[in-house]
Amino acid sequence: MKTPPFDCPKSPGSRSFVRAFTLIEVLTVVVIVLILAALLIPVVKNATLAGKQTSSLQRLRSIQMANIQYAGDHDGKYVPSYATIINSSGTGTDFVAWFTNSELLIYLVPNPQNYWWGNPHKALCSDLIPYELSKTMPTSFGINADGVDYTPDEWGNWNPIPRRAPNMPHAGKMMAFAESQDWAVTENACTNYTVPEKQTTNAVAYRYHNKANVAFFDGHVEQLTKEEIKKNTMLWTGN
């Protein structure tokens, strides 16, 4: 005689036991997730910004190191902020800004002849802003254009006289390049930084916690506030 099956009730400890979450439990989990997200998002954002800051500083230092190499090959003369040179046809002159100067770019980028105004290599652009925006400025690093003398060429163009390494007594205190919203920066416009970003003539850009990345003539880099940059004649002219 077969014994009829005995169906015992499932206990809470049984693997087959299923219990629905209460509304309070679900809301508690959601709140915990939101709190964790609120805590982690700023951390991730700051870490990302710090990474871009480091990249930007490295690029800025590389530009000045290239400038030092340039001076070594040009009788101690650093790259001028710009120059007007006779064009290939000999019928006039071309305007050559520092960031389109192939004799400087050769130390920084491959095929320097491929880069021109509006098409700077990424090595010449700050990682703190999108590359496409850098191109519209047309570069996001600016050369220090203060305290230079000018001389006319045979075409009547007034060109800046390049600074010379042997005549640089305060290379560790004088700025060569800085984060910018233009291809050149000046003390007169150093407080004209605009947000949101756009090309602003001769403006220093304070992109990292209201500080600007600055490269000095000796090759070292620093972060400086607007107050440290404004009215700092040693920084701008070495005096």
Q: Residues 48-82: pLDDT tens digits?
A: 778 899 999 999 999 999 999 999 999 999 999 99
The count of other CB atoms within 10 Å of the CB of residue 168 is: 18
Burial 59-92 (b: 16+ CB within 10 A, else e): bbbbbbebbbebbeebeebbbbbbbbeeeeeeee
Q: Residues 165-182: pLDDT tens digits?
A: 999 989 999 999 999 999
DSSP 15: T
Is 60 among the domain residues?
Answer: yes
- Domain total of the chain: 1
Residue-level pLDDT at 7:
53
Is 7 among the domain residues?
Answer: no
With beta carbons less than 8 A apart as the criterion, state whether 179 and 203 touch: no
Is 71 among the domain residues?
Answer: yes
Residue-level pLDDT at 4:
56
Instruction: Show the low-confidence residues of the chain (pLDDT under 50).
Output: 6
Is 110 among the domain residues?
Answer: yes
Give me the domain span that covers residue 67: 24-237
Query: Which of 121, 93, 57, 81 has the alpha carbon at shortest distance from 202?
Result: 81
Is 17 among the domain residues?
Answer: no
Is 160 among the domain residues?
Answer: yes
Is 6 among the domain residues?
Answer: no
Which are the contacts of 95, defined by CB distance < 8 A and separation ≥ 6?
Answer: 82, 83, 84
Is 2 among the domain residues?
Answer: no
